[in-house]
């Protein structure tokens, strides 16, 4: 069974992702910080790590870099929801999110998803990286 670690500082996001992915047939553990996620990886490697970018302490870009250095075969999905473009015009946060996601890709992320993303997009990304659960 494909094992996933979800790293996100927001408890609601961690819980929702865990439910969605478990219902899709994956084994899922969650971590509230990049350091906790890396400790989980050292204890029991994951096939896929899903990490948020903007977190207190070590951010997602650093987490991607650390995972790539220590676990080069692990597939990584980076998620971020730092900004959007609205009908009223542009919001500067959207540029910040794009820059973070580009940095994550440069650090070694396999896939980037911008919040909000739908359940199907998440499952498709995990399945394409690791195969069915």
Can you give the residue ranges of every domain in the chain?
Answer: 3-130
DSSP state of 8: -
Helix (H) or strand (E) holding 69: helix 60-70
The angle formed by the CA atoms of residues 3, 71 and 28, to the nearest 5 degrees, is 15
pLDDT tens digit at each of 133 positions of the chain? 899 999 999 999 999 999 999 999 999 999 999 999 999 999 999 999 999 988 888 888 899 999 999 999 999 999 987 544 343 444 444 445 566 667 777 777 899 888 788 899 999 999 999 865 5
CATH (residue range 3-130)? 3.40.50.2300
- Please measure the distance between the N-terminal and C-terminal CA atoms of the chain and give it in whole angstroms: 5
* φ and ψ at residue 56, rounded to 5 degrees: -65, 155
């Amino acid at each position: 069974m494909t094992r996933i670690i979800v790293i996100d500082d927001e408890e609601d996001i961690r819980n929702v992702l865990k439910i969605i992915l478990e219902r899709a047939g994956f084994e899922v553990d969650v971590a509230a910080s990049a350091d906790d996620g890396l400790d989980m990886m050292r204890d029991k490697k994951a096939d896929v790590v899903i990490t948020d970018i903007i977190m207190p302490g070590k951010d997602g870009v650093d987490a991607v870099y650390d995972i790539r250095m220590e676990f080069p075969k692990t597939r990584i999905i980076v998620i971020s929801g730092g900004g959007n473009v609205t009908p009223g015009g542009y919001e500067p946060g959207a540029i910040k999110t794009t820059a973070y996601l580009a940095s994550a890709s440069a650090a070694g992320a396999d896939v980037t998803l911008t919040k909000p993303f739908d359940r199907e997009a998440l499952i498709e990304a995990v399945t394409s990286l690791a195969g069915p659960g």
